[in-house]
Amino acid sequence: MKPRPPNQPTEWFAVLNGLPVIRIGFSAVAQHRAQIERNHGATLEELNAAGGLDWFELYCGFTGQNLFPAPKVTPEQARAWVIEQVQQHALPPRK
pLDDT tens, position by position, 27-42: 999 999 999 999 999 9
**pTM for the whole structure:** 0.83
Domain residue spans of the chain: 12-90
Mean pLDDT computed over 79-92 = 87
Which tens digit of pLDDT belongs to each residue from 40-66? 999 999 999 999 999 999 999 999 999
Residues of the chain with pLDDT > 70, as a percent, come to 84
Is a pLDDT exceeding 90 seen at residue 24?
yes
Mean pLDDT computed over 13-22 = 84
H/E run at residue 27: helix 26-30
Measured distance CA(81)–CA(72) in Å, rounded:
13
